């Protein structure tokens, strides 16, 4: 198979973990987490008929936190439950079945089953395996990366994608209005109906030393926004005022991250959130983020209506594919 999966390493790691998974002291969760405090990030009711109130709440959360949770979002609980059910079932398949969806070495595509995502700083590894594939638009979907087992995987993912549009449109409308733009302008700046929904399943196996390892190290998302559902095992952490906090888990909520592209288009008014994932000693944690992204060849920069002499551009315009390449390879932007 060539690549050693974290799920397999976890099966043989009972008390210790391999050296390459032990983070530096300035990253270790036990040393860097504010203990006893759970970060209550803003919770926003998307069904509130008072749109101005919803816009104000999203603007405040996006400017000061870069993260919020939404409830009454319109995606049926059963649709979310089925998405989680088939994703979990895929990772419980025998290794050889999962490897059929593995990224080929040297592939330029992010899609597929894998372990390593980006250039690893100081040779450290993250305690996670993952599966990436696009779920929208149809022209971007490559079904070779969609598991055929469990048999309902495709149907359940397509159903989730269908319900995602309402949430995406509402969020972009509010983000747009909050900048003083027309309701459709933020979405249009990201590619309009050609925006890509990239699903990732993060599978964080039980870890005997959760005090030393990280599921995903500190990062901001490259996307425009990220819409995430977790299982019920807490693990998401956010950096607020240079301190790391656990993020409160709210059943049936969607967690929304402001990504780098929204920060760029807003010319810095909205902030992409610095976050990371912890692991758990007793339980496997799984999360399902959907990265809502511009098309790869779209040039993204500060919105022209937000730039003037008093507010010069804070970011240079760049094709999204180029932006991603620079960030994943840790090269100068």
Residue spans of the domains in the chain: they are 6-328
DSSP character for 193? G
Q: Give the Cα separation of 47 and 149 in Å (integer).
A: 35
Dihedral sign computed on CA atoms, order 256, 262, 268, 274: positive
Size (the chain), residues: 333
Q: Give the Cα separation of 36 and 21 in Å (integer).
A: 25
Phi-psi region of 243 (alpha: psi -120 to 50; beta: other; left: phi over 0): beta
Catalytically active residues are 200, 219, 221, 275
Provide the Cα torsion 60, 194, 111, 303; round to 10°.
-40
DSSP character for 307? -
Looking at residue 36, its pLDDT comes to 85
End-to-end alpha-carbon separation of the chain, Å? 34
Q: Give the Cα separation of 296 and 292 in Å (integer).
A: 12
**pTM (predicted TM-score):** 0.96
CATH annotation of 6-328? 2.60.120.330
Q: Give the Cα separation of 267 and 122 in Å (integer).
A: 32
Q: Which residues contact 16 (CB under 8 A, 6 or more apart)?
A: 208, 209
Q: Give the Cα separation of 226 and 292 in Å (integer).
A: 6
pLDDT averaged per 10 residues, the chain (length 333): 83 90 93 88 96 98 96 98 98 96 85 81 87 97 97 98 98 98 98 97 97 95 97 93 90 96 98 97 97 98 96 96 87 61
DSSP character for 197? E
Report residue 108 as tokens: 């330029």
Q: Give the Cα separation of 47 and 156 in Å (integer).
A: 24
Looking at residue 1, its pLDDT comes to 44
Q: Give the Cα separation of 84 and 53 in Å (integer).
A: 32
């Amino acid at each position: 198979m060539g690549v050693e999966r974290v799920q397999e390493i976890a099966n043989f790691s009972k008390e210790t973990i391999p050296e390459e998974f032990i983070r530096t002291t300035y990253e270790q969760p036990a040393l860097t987490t504010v203990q006893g405090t759970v970060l209550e990030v803003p919770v926003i009711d998307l069904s509130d008929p008072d749109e101005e109130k919803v816009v104000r709440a999203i603007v405040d959360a996006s400017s000061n936190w870069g993260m919020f949770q939404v409830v009454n979002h319109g995606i049926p609980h059963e649709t979310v439950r089925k998405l989680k059910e088939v994703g979990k079932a895929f990772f419980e398949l025998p290794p050889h079945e999962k490897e059929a969806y593995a990224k080929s070495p040297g592939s330029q595509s992010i899609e597929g089953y894998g372990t390593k995502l980006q250039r690893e700083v100081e040779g450290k590894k993250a305690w996670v395996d993952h599966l990436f594939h696009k779920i929208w638009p149809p022209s971007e979907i490559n079904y070779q990366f969609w598991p055929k087992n469990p048999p309902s995987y495709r149907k359940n993912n397509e159903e989730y994608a269908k319900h995602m549009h309402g949430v995406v449109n509402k969020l972009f409308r509010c983000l747009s209005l909050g900048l003083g733009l027309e309701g459709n302008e933020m979405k249009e700046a990201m590619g309009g109906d050609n925006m890509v929904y990239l699903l990732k399943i993060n599978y964080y196996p039980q870890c005997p030393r959760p005090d030393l390892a990280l599921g995903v190290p500190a990062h901001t998302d490259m996307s425009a926004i990220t819409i995430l559902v977790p299982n019920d095992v807490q693990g998401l952490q956010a950096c607020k005022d240079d301190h790391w906090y656990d993020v409160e888990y709210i059943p049936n909520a969607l967690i929304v991250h402001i990504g780098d592209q929204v920060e760029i288009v807003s010319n810095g008014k909205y902030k992409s959130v610095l976050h990371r994932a912890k692991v758990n000693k007793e339980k496997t944690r799984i999360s399902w983020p959907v990265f809502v992204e511009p098309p790869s060849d779209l040039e993204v920069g500060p919105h022209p209506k937000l730039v003037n002499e008093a507010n010069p551009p804070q970011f240079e315009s760049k094709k999204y594919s180029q932006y991603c390449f620079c960030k994943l390879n840790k090269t100068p932007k």
